Structure 1
């Protein structure tokens, strides 16, 4: 049975990039291998960015060489420029995810260049990739910027049109610091779907202000099909103030199950895997279902309590 909603796992990249400790390569590989048997079609397995800027993901080459490649699972690599794309191709990434911010200020902070510099880099990436991998282009801060505030829809649409003209085959709208709200999400998704087919649009929300799951549902109701999420709710942008964790994968899968949406994912397996994260990274994680259990997980009556009709 095909999924009603497609959830893409980003914990190995977006989830781990902000962690103060560097998770060993073999542990990352084991995490990805366990994720790849839980029903995901797509997993963002790592990135090929400056090792000085994001030391937690400096082992992207080794990770991609070591993971088990499973049929039907697309392994994605985040890249910022031509050099990153070349490394991703050498590591046999199935898809490269180019990123630029809608906010020029955030793009300078995050990528170290203005829009023109990033778009020139995208043109180089397109030429280098050819047919060797799928090219997705992410527009960060697409719902708001912590430095500039609101990002006007006209600018967002123009940048997406430029992405498509330069060769992007699919688009991700990222709410980098959780500034979206359901009303804005519905409006923006409906507008963007005028440019991008439903199957080629992904939404990436953060739960910074507690609206992550609500924004996913608003996007779904407006016509979006694909959503990024991170096991345990881990993640955040290292270069954006207040960029706390992503929408939590197991919390989102649980919500979908509760309301009758098929994700094709193994919720019980996700919960079990999420419960291993604190020992991996050394602190509790934001996800809620792994702590509380599913609503159908009933508890024994305490000793000494007498049940009556």
Structure 2
């Protein structure tokens, strides 16, 4: 063992969180503060650096996921890597593969990839890109774990639950059921599979309790003390969010997702999440109350 390796082995392991400035990444950083890691937050630029500055990361590194050298530098000396790909990006599978290669080069001992529930859904290109990334993870020389979460409760709460009182337009059938996971629990599981032995070569479906969008929006309103009522609008005519509307890939991908949700909803089984947590997963009501208190 070299002197550098000896020093490295005496320190707490270094966890690099790629995509640390996103909604999921910020919850993971908060959970990682309670774990025996040094944490390096890997962000895209100054705005991301500002977003994670108060979350207790030991290091904050900016990296361009399109640049192999930039990614390799960001993951240098990392022991563990948690990869959160950018949502709806047309090259998210390429970025994941780049991170895998950089983690291998860094000598990382574990790689966790955040995928999605039901990645092999033919009509959803952004799901299929995650399926491609999963294949690359499994083919790597790393010890790996893949997490396949259901819809994030906090996405529903931030997208529709913050509306002013009254009707809330949702671009798919609000009476379909969706399994929703509380990001606090996704982060808890993420840290668990990194910190514990026994999760190598595992692919975990992580689905929270199911609820209709109509009920979820009502619950979100009650948590804020306002009355909200979800109503279905045409997925093909609903406005796209800023940053997506004019993108030739993200816009169609989001509409395809809305169309699939309009037909089927998105349901999974909570058994694996229950097993990993060692308790019942949080209800949407609990997630909404915590989100409202968070401000």
TM range (shorter): 0.3 to 0.5
TM-score when scaled to structure 2? Answer: 0.37
Q: Which has the higher strand share?
A: 2
